[in-house]
Amino acid sequence: MDYVKAFIVGGLICVIGQILIDTTKLTAGRILVVFVSLGVIVGAFGWYDKLIEFGGAGATIPLPSFGNSLAKATLKEVKEIGLLGAFTGGIKGAAAGITAAIFFGYLMALIFNPKTKK
């Protein structure tokens, strides 16, 4: 049943993205920002944790989860060190994910022959 829940949650997030692609003139980069921003907002209210409890990997893998991680890390840092945490929390919370994305992106560029889209 966990697989079904993950598929439903992840699938709904993908469906929302596809609807945005098909019905708006938003670029992929802007849709990415929308998803991350929504993850921050929903995570700041604590609602994304409930979605993770229900959907598991279907909620933790997509982009809104990155925004949720930013929100959680920022709130934690603000509680610990005050206002300065609003500036440092997100960076600390997302450092591992950003580092992995840069490393694996570079590795794939070395292995494969990247080309620009025409």
pLDDT tens, residue by residue, 44-93: 888 999 999 999 999 998 889 988 988 889 989 999 999 998 889 888 88
pTM across the whole model: 0.75
Q: How many domains does the chain contain in total?
A: 1
The residue type found at 114 is P
Is the confidence at residue 118, as pLDDT, over 80? no
Is the confidence at residue 103, as pLDDT, over 70? yes
The residue type found at 34 is V
User: According to the model, what pLDDT value does residue 117 have?
Assistant: 66
Of 100, 20, 96, 10, which is closest to residue 60 (Cα–Cα)? 10
Distance CA 99, CA 103 (A): 6
Residue 116 lies in a domain: no
Residue 72 lies in a domain: yes
Residue 62 lies in a domain: yes
Residue 99 lies in a domain: yes
Residue 118 lies in a domain: no
Domain residues for the domain of 93 are 2-111
Is the confidence at residue 24, as pLDDT, over 90? yes
Distance CA 77, CA 89 (A): 5
Mean per-residue pLDDT over the chain, rounded = 90
